[in-house]
Amino acid sequence: MAQVQRMSRLMVKTLRDDPADAETLSHKLLVRAGYVRRNAAGIWSWLPLGMKVLENVSRVVREEMDAIGAQEVLLPALLPKEPYEATGRWDEYGPELFRLKDRKGAEYLLGPTHEEIFTLLVKDQCTSYKDLPVILYQIQTKYRDEARPRSGILRGREFQMKDSYSFDTTDEGLAESYALHRQAYIRIFDRLGLRHKIVSAVSGAMGGSASEEFLAPAAAGEDTFAYCPSCDYAANTEAVTFPGGEPADASAHGPVEVLDTPDTPTIETLAAFLDVPASATLKNLLVKVDGEIVAVGVPGDREVDLGKLEDHLAPAAVELVTAEDFTGRPDLVRGYVGPQGLEKVRYLADPRIAAGTAWVTGANQEGRHARNVVAGRDFEVDEYLDVVVVEEGDPCPKCSTGLKLDRAIEIGHIFQLGRKYADAMQLDVLGQNGKPVRVTMGSYGVGVSRAVAALAEQTADEQGLCWPAEIAPADVHVVAAGKTAQTELALSVAEQLGEAGLRVLVDDRAGVSPGVKFTDAELIGVPKILVAGRRTAEGVVELKDRRTGEREELPVAEAVARLASARG
Ligand code: ATP
Ligand code: MG
């Protein structure tokens, strides 16, 4: 079957200039090359070329999901509220959830992810242990009212996701379904040509235990991951845990000393004034947890990772305190809080604030700090939480070597959910012994539309997009660089390539200069470019590799044979 697409009939309008609002390479190039167009913040249309790439990604995902025995279904995106109320997610999901009402006032949502609906489906369809295990998947449009939709299709408010769900009767079964997905994801991302890393993740709002992310290293990524240069440890920085501080001998420290510390509004000025390193100071961040003021203590040279804090305290809501929160609270002296004076406030602390360690911290009096404030002697820690932002050089939790950090795009996520959703919806099947067994679940996502942008980020160059063969919108881009004779040769070569089973894009546009056609071919990013130009009369064409830029002149028949065998 010949698959020849003539550019003269293709709806594609390339742009010379970057869109004004574009920050990332993939955003700029996908718009300029005519793959996608923006309709509103985080809402995008896929044009013919983009659609081909999106379809190719979906096909690879489908093939690999089918290969692990997963069955494809298609559930609605418009969902009733009740199942999400049963699991608590109607509220817990917060402002990211698109909620809406129908004409009768009944409430609905646009699905951000489908655990509830799949659980109900299996409850309806599977009644016995013999019906399990089962893995179901769909490739479907998801909706999330992201706080910062950005980078084009990398973070949309409407986007394509492959989501799958596994249902097992035993923990071992769940581990196996999880392992199957892990293997399938490795194959998917390898085939797509995406460089990726598997890292430990936190489970967040989804609940559950084991969870890993597939990250595509790229400068445009919004995730930071840590990896160990000496062992195989790798984790999203949000999931890196500090091994725990060593308890020290409290009696080694003198009594608490209160000092006047004028003009020391920051940790740096305080450390300089007292001639101590910032790491010897203890800073105390006040936050509201479900409305109640809580203090979080971390060494002065570290930052609190609010995302980590939220994960630890979920589903409680975490907010920063404002000036009003200090009214009527003489115990809270803004800027001079120290844990030794906080009687009515819960104190959470980083594990580095181990028992017996001494600190410089606020004296709970305006303009004064205290020295020799010892954990376990002068104040108690109510709970140790690992909430500091991980930094390059922090010890690897496995082998203590200094960690390295890198940026990446999250392209997939696999979770062992356990029985959280099955409990909420009473999903049981009859066991071997005739008694009901609670089902255990896994949930697994691939960002299908995001993968297109991630691939563009990893593969593009100065000239434009540069797709790996498996997902490129065509195998060969034939350019007619001249008038009638060149166009005729180009169309004939395109036909032959099509017959050989290749997907061909042929630039047969009249009145477009060869220079513009070459620029467009580089921008569109098909892996091979074949030019009918100067030596058309001799039947000689030029074959160019989009990635390496290598070019070669050869007779038509040889060029066709070469491309056909490369594909085979
Ligand atoms: P992120 O941290 O980037 O918001 P997430 O943890 O919310 O991602 P999941 O809920 O695990 O993502 O969704 C599964 C997959 O869907 C992600 O791995 C990602 O590839 C993709 N995805 C999530 N949110 C978006 C979005 N707004 N636009 C495009 N793809 C997305
Ligand atoms: Mg998200």
| CATH assignment of the domain containing 529 | 3.40.50.800
The DSSP line for 398-458 is TT-PBPEEEEEEEEEEEEEEETHHHHHTT-EEE-TTSSEEE-EEEEEEEEHHHHHHHHHHH
Question: Which range has the worst mean pLDDT, 68-82, 228-242, 346-360, 444-458?
Answer: 228-242
User: How far is residue 319's CA from residue 286's CA, in Å, rounded to a whole number?
Assistant: 9
pLDDT reported for residue 122: 98
What percentage of the chain has pLDDT greater than the value 90?
85
Phi, psi of 200 (to 5 degrees): -70, 145
Could you read off the pLDDT of 281-295 as tens digits, one per residue? 999 999 999 989 999
Closest ligand 1 atom to Cα of 214: 18
CA-proximal residue: ligand 1, atom 11 (nearest): 413
What spacing in Å lies between the alpha carbon of 152 and ligand 1's midpoint?
A: 14
The ligand with the least distance to the CA atom of 157 is: 1
pLDDT at 363 over 60: yes
Q: Which of 413, 415, 444, 449 to mutate to test the pocket of ligand 1 (most atoms within 8 A of CB)?
A: 413
CATH of the domain at 161: 3.30.930.10
Q: In this structure, are 331 and 363 located in the same domain?
A: yes
* 229 and 255 belong to one structural domain: no
pLDDT at 207: 47
Point out which residues pair with 215 in neighbouring strands.
Answer: 197, 410
| Residue 428 and residue 380 share a domain | no
d(CA 383, CA 63): 47
What integer pLDDT is reported at residue 205 of this predicted model? 46
Ligand nearest to the CA of 150: 1
Average pLDDT rounded to a whole number, residues 389-410:
94
Specify the pLDDT at position 1.
Answer: 55
Which residue owns the Cα nearest ligand 1 atom 16?
447
Domain shared by 235 and 260, yes or no: no
Q: Which of 457, 489, 521 is the endpoint of a domain?
A: 457
Percent of the chain with pLDDT over 70: 98
**Do 138 and 49 reside in the same domain of the chain?**
yes
Q: Which amino acid is at 352?
A: R
How confident is the model at residue 501, as a pLDDT?
95
Q: Are 77 and 220 found together in one domain? A: yes
DSSP lists the bridge partners of residue 395 as: 402
Beta-ladder partners of 284: 297
190 and 262 in a common domain: no
* Distance from C-alpha of 421 to C-alpha of 165, rounded to nearest angstrom: 11
Per residue in 193-247, pLDDT (tens digit) is 999 999 998 755 444 568 999 999 999 999 999 999 999 999 988 888 887 778 8
- Ligand in closest contact with the CA of 221: 1
Q: Which residues of 510-549 are buried (b: 16+ CB within 10 A; e: fewer)?
A: eeeebeebbebbbbbbbbbbbbbbeebeeebbbbbebeee
Q: Is residue 29 situated within a structural domain?
A: no
The answer to whether residue 349 sits within a structural domain is: yes
User: What's the pLDDT band for 133 if we cut at 50, 70, 90?
Assistant: very high
Copy the structure tokens of residue 506.
Answer: 């042929």
The Cα–Cα gap between 139 and 62 comes to 8
Regarding whether 215 and 323 lie in a shared domain, the answer is: no
**Nearest ligand for residue 206 CA:** 1
| 427 phi/psi in degrees, rounded to 5 | -90, 105
pTM of the model: 0.88
Nearest to 541 by CA among 491, 472, 469: 491
The mean of the pLDDT values for the chain is 94
pLDDT, residue 250, reads 82
Q: From the CB of residue 330, how many other CB atoms can be counted at a distance below 10 Å?
A: 8
Backbone angles phi and psi of 526, in degrees to 5 = -70, 140
Cα-to-centroid distance, 96 and ligand 1 (Å): 12
Tokens of 205: 């709002």
Where does 81-203 show beta strands of DSSP type E? 98-101, 107-110, 134-143, 158-168, 197-200
Q: Which residues of 309-322 are buried (b: 16+ CB within 10 A; e: fewer)?
A: bbbebeeeebeebe
Whether 552 and 540 have beta carbons less than 8 Å apart is answered as no
- State residue 567's pLDDT score: 75
Residues 180, 51 share a domain: yes
Please identify, by atom number, the ligand 1 atom nearest to the C-alpha of residue 446.
15
Positive/negative CA dihedral, 260, 266, 271, 277: positive
Cα–chain-centroid distance for residue 18?
Answer: 25
Indicate if 108 and 130 belong to the same structural domain: yes
Neighbours of 133 (CB within 10 A): 20
| Beta strand 223-227 pairing with 234-236 | antiparallel
Each residue's pLDDT tens digit, 42-84? 999 999 999 999 999 999 999 999 999 999 999 999 999 999 9
Pick the residue whose CA is nearest to atom 8 on ligand 1. Answer: 410
Q: Is the pLDDT of residue 348 over 70?
A: yes
Q: Which residues line ligand 1 (CB under 6 A)?
A: 113, 144, 146, 155-156, 159, 161, 410-413, 445, 447, 449-450
Q: What is the Å distance from ligand 1's center to 511 Cα?
A: 44
Tell me what the mean pLDDT of segment 415-429 comes to: 96
pLDDT-derived band of residue 265, with 50, 70 and 90 as boundaries?
confident
Q: Is 33 among the domain residues?
A: no
CA–CA separation, 350 vs 512, rounded Å? 64
Q: Is the peptide bond before 19 cis (omega within 30 degrees of 0)?
A: no
Q: Is residue 392 part of a domain?
A: no
Ligand 2 geometric centre to CA of 398 (Å): 28
Q: What is the pLDDT at residue 206?
A: 47
Q: Are residues 269 and 134 in the same domain?
A: no
C-alpha 447 to ligand 1 mean position (Å): 6
Ligand nearest the Cα atom of residue 205: 1
**Candidates 139, 161, 164, 206: which one to mutate for ligand 1, based on the most atoms within 8 Å of Cβ?**
161
State how far the Cα of 497 lies from the Cα of 198, in Å rounded to an integer. 39
Section 322-351 average pLDDT: 89
164 lies in which domain range? 44-239+405-457
Distance CA 200, CA 235 (A): 4
37 Cα: distance to centroid of ligand 1 (angstroms): 21
Burial class of residue 130, CB neighbours in 10 A (0-12, 13-18, 19+): exposed
CATH of residue 279: 3.90.960.10
> Which listed ligand is nearest to 112 at the C-alpha?
1
344 and 277 together in one domain:
yes
Residue 221 lies in a domain: yes
Q: In angstroms, what is the span from residue 410 Cα to ligand 1's centroid?
A: 7
Residue 457's alpha-carbon distances to 53, 158, 316, in angstroms, are 14, 20, 36
Please state which of the ranges 148-157, 220-229, 305-314, 430-439 shows the lowest mean pLDDT: 305-314
Band (pLDDT 50/70/90 cuts) for residue 151 is confident
Residue 101 lies in a domain: yes
CA of 153 to the centre of ligand 2 (A): 13
Q: Which of 384, 417, 436 is the last residue of a domain?
A: 384
- Count how many domains the chain has: 3
pLDDT in tens, 546-564: 999 999 999 999 999 999 9
The predicted structure's pLDDT at residue 198:
96
Q: Distance, CA 553 to ligand 1 centroid (Å)?
A: 45
Q: Which atom of ligand 1 is nearest to the CA of 206?
A: 10
Identify whether 82 is part of a domain: yes
Q: What is the pLDDT averaged over residues 89-102?
A: 95
Atom 14 (ligand 1): residue with closest C-alpha? Answer: 445
441 CA distance to ligand 2 centroid (A)?
21
Q: What is the pLDDT of residues 493-543, one digit of tens each?
A: 999 999 999 999 999 999 999 999 999 999 999 999 999 999 999 999 999
Residue 137 inside a domain? The answer is yes
- What pLDDT was estimated at residue 404? 96
- Specify the pLDDT at position 308: 86
Final residue before a domain boundary, out of 384, 415, 441: 384
CB–CB of 440/419 below 8 Å?
A: yes
- Residue type (1 letter), 445: G
Q: Is 214 exposed, middle or buried (0-12, 13-18, 19+ CB in 10 A)?
A: buried
